[in-house]
Structure 1
Amino acid sequence: MNTIRNTITSTFRQHYALLYLALFCVFTLLVRVKITHSVFYLFLMWNLFLAYVPLLISSVMINNPVVIERRRFFYPMMIVWLLFLPNAPYIITDFIHLKKDSSVPVWFDVLLLISFTIAGILAGLTSMKHMFNMLSIKFNPLLAWVSIGVICLLCGFGIYVGRFLRYNSWDVLKRPLSLTADMLTSFTQSTPLGITLGFGCFLFLLFNMFYSAEK
């Protein structure tokens, strides 16, 4: 318990800007709720929380050398991390909910959605950088880059699974059979391929820019 508490504290200290950005997102959303008396966009808070989960997981891993060194800890946690990671870029697709509302100007809702999107993306990219660094330590930078490329494509497919097939990360355990069947069926369609490649390449380019800037 102390380890988790210390990790959360350390994460916030290292990435305090992400915390402030999340608070700005929540404040903006609450202002909208106050003005419109509508809870329509409250789902954004849940989506943002899910987008921050991979960052918490990767922070636990990278701040505990024993996790990186031992396979029985590293690979299970990496799988869990990978299952939640698509929630970070998935938040981009929440723009489909943008609509005109007479209670607030459209620019306010654009600002709201952009804020949540950027917060989710930055949390995901930061988490991916953690994983990249760990893979570089365990193996080598080349394999780390290849892994990130594959991870980005998996995230692209994860966006399709979440937005179009309407599955969540925990459905891997809750509804594994129906999830597997729908995923196999999707391989025969063009839309999943386009979304996988489009969002996957976009995420990889963003990570490359993010990692280069940080470096």
Structure 2
Amino acid sequence: MFTFSLQVWGILFLSIFFSPHSPYVITDLIQIVNPIAIVWINILILIIFAISDLLRGILSMMDAFSNLQKHNYPINANLIILSVSLISGFGFFLGKSIRFNSWHLIARPQLLIAYTFKSLVI
């Protein structure tokens, strides 16, 4: 049986809770439909921020993974990183496709739960 110390759970929670939504920023590039109407410097800045945020997200996941492995949880580290990646991907789907935001967790949780289950059932 694997047990995590309170410190490991705290670090894991903070790393997931404050993890950058780096792939989400990359999807903002898709919304540029008419680049001529937008100033090129804005596009360049968005691309730079998207790439740096993506790298920061990858480094954050690598850091969380290495911290879990240091505490002798290699199998759990793989499962946790895989779970966080899948949940994050589903969160991006809810945000981009269904247009939910984080504040829906507080303001309209029933609606968020209903749409989440509706989207999971094919």
- TM category (shorter chain) comes to 0.7 to 0.9
- Choose which of 6, 16, 19 in structure 2 pairs with 1:85: 19
- Aligned-residue identity in percent: 31
- In structure 1, list runs of 5 or more residues that go unmatched: 1-68, 190-215
Offset at residue 112 of structure 1 (A): 2.6
**Equivalent in 109, 112, 121 of residue 176 of structure 1:** 109
Counterpart amino acid of 1:116? F
Give the 4+ runs in structure 1 shifted more than 2 A: 73-86, 99-105, 108-113, 137-143, 165-176
Match of 1:124 in 2: 57
Q: Which amino acid aligns with 1:183?
A: T
Is 1:104 matched with 2:23? no
TM-score, structure 2 length as denominator?
0.74
TM-superposed CA distance for 1:167, in Å, is 2.4
- Matched to 1:162, the amino acid is G
The amino acid that maps onto 2:35 is K
* Count, aligned residues: 118
* 1:94 aligned partner: 28
The 1:167/1:74 distance shift into structure 2, 3 A limit, reads: farther
* Distance in 2 separating the partners of 1:76 and 1:170: 23
Paired position in structure 2 for 1:135: 68
Higher helix proportion, which one? 1
5+ unaligned residues in a row in structure 2: which ranges?
none
Question: Post-superposition shift, 1:141?
Answer: 2.3
Please give the residue correspondences for 1:151-162 in structure 2 after superposition, counting only pairs within 5 Å.
151-162=84-95
Displacement of 1:115 after TM fit? 0.8
RMSD (Å), alpha carbons: 2.7
